[in-house]
C-alpha cells in the first residue's frame, strides 16, 4: 500500500487477506469479506472527512468543500 489516503482502506481486489480490525471497520454485512462496494464506501468516508476539514478553513474553497460534503452525505445516505 502507498501513503495516499485512497490506499488507507483494504482493496479486496488485491488478494490480501484483511485483518480482524479491517473486517470490523469495513465489513458492513458481516460476511467475513470486504466487498468492492464496502471498500469504496470506506474510501468515500475518507474523502468526506477531508471535505469537512477543508470546509472548516472557510473562504471560497471552504464553501465549495462544504457543498461537496453535503452532496456526498446525501448520496451516501440514500
What is the full DSSP assignment across 17-68? Answer: PPPHHHHHHH-TT-SSS--HHHHHHHHHHHHHHHHHHHHHT-HHHHHHHHHH
Band (pLDDT 50/70/90 cuts) for residue 64 is very high
pLDDT in tens, 14-29: 557 778 888 877 887 8
Calculated CA dihedral for residues 11, 15, 19, 23, nearest 10 degrees: 60
For the purposes of burial, counting CB atoms within 10 Å of the CB of 47, is it exposed (0-12), middle (13-18) or buried (19 or more)? Answer: middle
Structural domains of the chain, count: 1
Containing domain of residue 44, as a range? 5-77
Amino acid at each position: 500500500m502507498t501513503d495516499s489516503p485512497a490506499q488507507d482502506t483494504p482493496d479486496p481486489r488485491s488478494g490480501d487477506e484483511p485483518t480482524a480490525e479491517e473486517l470490523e471497520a469495513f465489513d458492513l454485512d458481516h460476511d467475513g469479506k470486504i466487498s468492492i462496494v464496502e471498500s469504496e464506501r470506506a474510501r468515500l468516508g475518507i474523502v468526506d472527512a477531508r471535505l469537512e476539514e477543508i470546509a472548516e478553513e472557510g473562504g471560497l474553497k471552504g464553501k465549495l468543500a462544504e457543498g461537496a460534503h453535503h452532496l456526498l452525505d446525501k448520496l451516501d445516505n440514500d
